[in-house]
Amino acid sequence: MHASKETLYRAPPWLPGGHLQTIYSSLFIRVAPVACRRERLELADGDFLDFDWVDGHAGSPVVVLFHGLEGSADSHYARGLMARVRAHGWHGATAHFRGCSGEDNRLPRAYFAGDSEDIGCILRHVKARHAEVPVYAVGISLGGNALLKWLGEQGAAAHPLVERAAAVSAPLDLAAAGRTLDRGFNRRVYTARFLATLKAKALHKATRFPGLLDAQAIAATTTFREFDTLVTARLHGFRDADDYWLKASSKPLLKSVSVPTLVINARNDPFLPASALPAPADVSPSITLEQPGAGGHVAFPSGPFPGNLDWLPRRLMQHFDIRRR
């Protein structure tokens, strides 16, 4: 399945290339914050998850957003989508992964790209709050991979919780993404930026839980491979980064997805090479692949200079708003 000409993304001529589209959109295009209501869900394992809700009209659908690595309700894509959800009069929820809502989570474990158990927990909670209306799920980057993994694992069993889904710039092949991010410009710019906060969180966990992590080795890491071996794998039961990347990738499960799902990946995304993207033969008939030539990583800027980030939330809501079909 392919996008129509009306929906296919096209980059503005004044902002060429995946790096420029990614960096400019993240750092220089401002998206206004959206007023939200915070809800805390206490978990059976003693931890908690925080939701930021946009309350819509009674009987309207719910859009739940799973953010990317080190993201939150304040991420530009979350603000943009929730503003569009509010304008529709719908309900929206940004579901924060553990430790991403501005407060440390309580347990040694954190969150990771294959955390389908927490995806299911979040969706069950949202559906319990809004049992009589459609629930639509969006995963961005890391959150997109985790959502797709859950959808693939559940197959037809996902339907009672989610009516439609979407994943944007998901690192569907974590090994390919990890290798790409650990090289050259990517390593110096993107990986270094992510590791600044990831390492700080991990070092704090090392202090809170003595003997769990090697703080000295973590402080010296400069690659995702090192960090995922020392921290992500250690906290979540994987042997090392390679084992984690293999077992947490969603790409092998895409043939099992049963919920109608839109999967958007720019072919110039600096985080994942186009050669790693799935072809139609690699996915189930329920998946619509959109792989525009441009767009960067969770960017998709549009409009005349200085640009806006309206295309992505508009495209996602179009996918969800079946009344307009």
Active-site amino acid positions: 141, 269, 297
Question: Do 42 and 121 form a contact (C-beta atoms < 8 A)?
Answer: no
Token pair recorded at residue 264: 């958007």
Instruction: Give the relative orientation of helices 241-248 and 174-181 as an angle to the nearest 10 degrees.
Output: 130
